[in-house]
Amino acid sequence: MKALVAVKRVVDHNVRVRIKADGSGVDTAGVKMSINPFDEIAVEEALRLKERGLVSEIVAVTLGEATSQDVLRHALAMGVDRVILVETATELQPLGVAKLLKAVAEREAPQLVLLGKQAIDDDAGQVGQMLAALLGTAQGTFASKIDIENGEAIVVREVEGGTETVALKLPAVITADLRLAEPRFVKLPNLMMAKKKPIETLAADSLGVDFAPRVARTAAAEPPVRAAGIKVGSVAELVQKLREAKVI
């Protein structure tokens, strides 16, 4: 069974992002970029399914400019078999991403499509659901456990107040939640070997998909600065302060 894993290049989670001076978006110039953490979890889960003999081939795909090759190198270093870069300089939004991934999925014909539940840059959390709808397949979102049994993916997903277990007829799209798997540590020799492996590149325009942006960003701004806290001298003073703030 083939698994297709979608990964996105985002600002590294340890970097504090800055807003461009004109407020048009996040300034990524000179900023450290890395694989979206939720997508890295999806890669790890695919590798574990392969180690259990449930997956025979793992293909990682990313969309964007040539600079996005670095996240594919990371996926190769983790252990995926092949990688694909769908190259475009156009700003991609969730629907456009889902359409391009659909084109790749139809080309690769995987039984399982894995991706993170959301990207940490826009927190949209839409691509997995859109992709499943476009492909007409079952979907299991926010997965915290995956098993493959009798042609079905058994997915445990976290819901309000507990968990829910669903059986998905394959092929299916599954989005990874935080507790699905802890990504393995990538060793330096693996990173060096990954640099020598080929990356298949497809021009996004060649896939016959309309991925033009549908939403215009009107402004971006940093959150307001949080007011400094104060230290109180007693419980009575704390209660008085809370009453003044009208929270009790």
Can you give the pLDDT at residue 219? 86
Residue 64 three-state SS: strand
Can you give the pLDDT at residue 126? 94
Q: Where are the beta strands (DSSP E) in 57-199?
A: 57-64, 82-87, 112-116, 138-149, 152-159, 162-169, 172-176
Q: Is 96 exposed, middle or buried (0-12, 13-18, 19+ CB in 10 A)?
A: buried
What average pLDDT does the segment 153-161 reach?
91
Instruction: List pLDDT tens digits, range 71-110.
Output: 999 999 999 999 999 999 998 999 999 999 999 999 999 9
What average pLDDT does the segment 142-163 reach?
92
What average pLDDT does the segment 169-184 reach?
95
Can you give the pLDDT at residue 21? 85
Q: Please, what's the b/e burial string for 225-236 (b: 16 or more CB within 10 A of its CB; e: otherwise)?
A: eeeeeeeeeeee
Instruction: List pLDDT tens digits, range 135-144.
Output: 999 999 999 9
Q: Tell me how far the alpha carbon of residue 15 is from its chain's centroid.
A: 17
Return the residue matching tokens 């894995």.
Answer: 114
Can you give the pLDDT at residue 28? 84
pLDDT score of 45 more than 90: yes
Q: List CB contacts of 66: < 8 A, sequence separation 6 or more.
A: 85, 87
Can you give the pLDDT at residue 68? 94
What letter does residue 30 receive in the DSSP assignment? T
Residue 110 three-state SS: coil
pLDDT score of 226 more than 90: no
What average pLDDT does the segment 55-84 reach?
96
